[in-house]
Amino acid sequence: MNDADVVRAVCKDFVPVAANVWSIQAGEAEQAVWFQTMAKRLFAAKKLESYLEQYPTFQGVYVAGADGTPYELLGDYEPASTLRTLAAALEDFRNKPPGPCVITDEQIARAAPPRVDPTTTVIRLHYRCRPLPLGAGAINASVSRDHLWIHAAEVRSLIELTAAARIAVLPRGLALRLCRFHLLDNVRGMADPFLAEEVQRADFVVRVLGERDGVRRLALGGDFRSEKDYPGDLNYRGKVGVEGLVDGELDLDLATARIVRFRALAVGHAWGANSNTWGQPRGGRFPLVIALVDVDDEVARTVPPMWLGFGGY
């Protein structure tokens, strides 16, 4: 989906929708039912029911009409075949256009993704394996992302702690959330989070650098290590872990109790293969760097952290 010609084709000829398959492949919400009906018809048309039995997921790229008429399902993500499939879908759409359907304002309101509380700070994390080890598979050159939420109460706590002392420990809930759900090897895809007892070090400290015009600047330093080991697991591939150091800065607006600037870098190593992120560099430990930056765009306000709702988030 990153190929320039594919991007151009999608922008020009389609109305593109991005979604988490967990929110639409099951359940009885109107749009989920629309999607499930359309997807099942496509899988049946392509005689892929047995695939669904083996891999019960509707992950993929679909082309459909507004009324649910199914046109195409992308077979792979190679640019050339993607362009051919999109062209075929477009021709099919023009030869057999969808029927009319009514979509009300109420349906649109019900389908709107929830927005994060406006008092919550959203941090976007980007993950890389750098420097890329020699011989590492191409997938390790990926850059991936996630969102972290920092709640207003945690910011207020930081303001209070740093008013009382120039050095303070990051609130434990935030430190654990960072380690369990975000300081992960997400480079090749969605890594498994850690349980609280699998976080061996979550030591984060803030230090007041100064204050001006109602904004207090803090330095952030951290030392983290987490590891899981499930030898009884059917797909056991050894221990999985991360460790490293974090350096950063954040600016707190004292009047609004908001983080108005957040910059941090986690540098360390990871090891092992998560359930969905195999293909890691060989040889045991490999580099992991994570950039953390505050964001406030539409994606930040509507796309939640990967593990929101998972125990402890």
Residues 253-312 close enough to bind another protein by CB under 8 A: 263-265, 276, 289-291, 293, 299, 302-306
In the complex, minimum distance from the CB of residue 123 to another protein, in angstroms, rounded to a whole number: 12
Instruction: Find the Cα–Cα–Cα–Cα dihedral 53, 64, 67, 105, rounded to 10°.
Output: 100
208-238 burial, b at 16+ Cβ within 10 Å, e below that, comes to beeeeeeebebebbbebbbebeeeeeeeeee
Using rule CB under 8 A, residue 15 touches another protein: yes
Nearer to another protein, 196 or 299 (CB): 299
Question: Both ends of the chain: CA-CA distance in Å?
Answer: 31
Q: Which of 186, 274, 277, 280 binds another protein (CB under 8 A)?
A: 186
Residue type for 119, please? T
Nearer to another protein, 96 or 229 (CB): 96
On the CB side of 245, CA atoms within 13 Å amount to 2
In the complex, minimum distance from the CB of residue 47 to another protein, in angstroms, rounded to a whole number: 21
Nearer to another protein, 17 or 200 (CB): 17
Helix (H, G, I), strand (E, B) or coil at 22: helix
Nearer to another protein, 119 or 276 (CB): 276
Using rule CB under 8 A, residue 138 touches another protein: no
In the complex, minimum distance from the CB of residue 231 to another protein, in angstroms, rounded to a whole number: 25
Using rule CB under 8 A, residue 17 touches another protein: yes
Nearer to another protein, 19 or 195 (CB): 19
Using rule CB under 8 A, residue 313 touches another protein: no
DSSP per residue over 107-144, as a string?
A: HHHHHSPPPPPTTSEEEEEEEE--SPPTT--GGGG--E
Using rule CB under 8 A, residue 111 touches another protein: yes
In the complex, minimum distance from the CB of residue 253 to another protein, in angstroms, rounded to a whole number: 13
Using rule CB under 8 A, residue 122 touches another protein: no
* Sheet architecture: strand order including 240-253: 144-150, 121-128, 286-295, 258-271, 240-253, 215-228, 199-212, 167-169
Using rule CB under 8 A, residue 51 touches another protein: no
Q: How many residues does the chain have?
A: 313
Helix (H, G, I), strand (E, B) or coil at 106: helix
- Residue of 195, 296, 189, 310 lying closest to 241 (CA atoms): 195
Using rule CB under 8 A, residue 231 touches another protein: no
d(CA 61, CA 190): 18
| Contact string 66-105 vs another protein (x = CB under 8 A) | x----x--------------x--xx--x---xx-xx-x--
- Residue ranges in 24-43 that form contacts with another protein under rule CB under 8 A: 24-25, 30-31, 34-35
Tell me the number of residues near another protein by CB under 8 A.
88
d(CA 121, CA 263): 13
Stretch that binds another protein, among 151-159, 205-213, 230-238, 278-286 (CB under 8 A): 205-213
Helix (H, G, I), strand (E, B) or coil at 2: coil
Q: CB 188: neighbour CB atoms within 10 A?
A: 21
Using rule CB under 8 A, residue 149 touches another protein: no
In the complex, minimum distance from the CB of residue 280 to another protein, in angstroms, rounded to a whole number: 17
Beta strands 167-169 and 144-150 are unpaired
Nearer to another protein, 200 or 302 (CB): 302
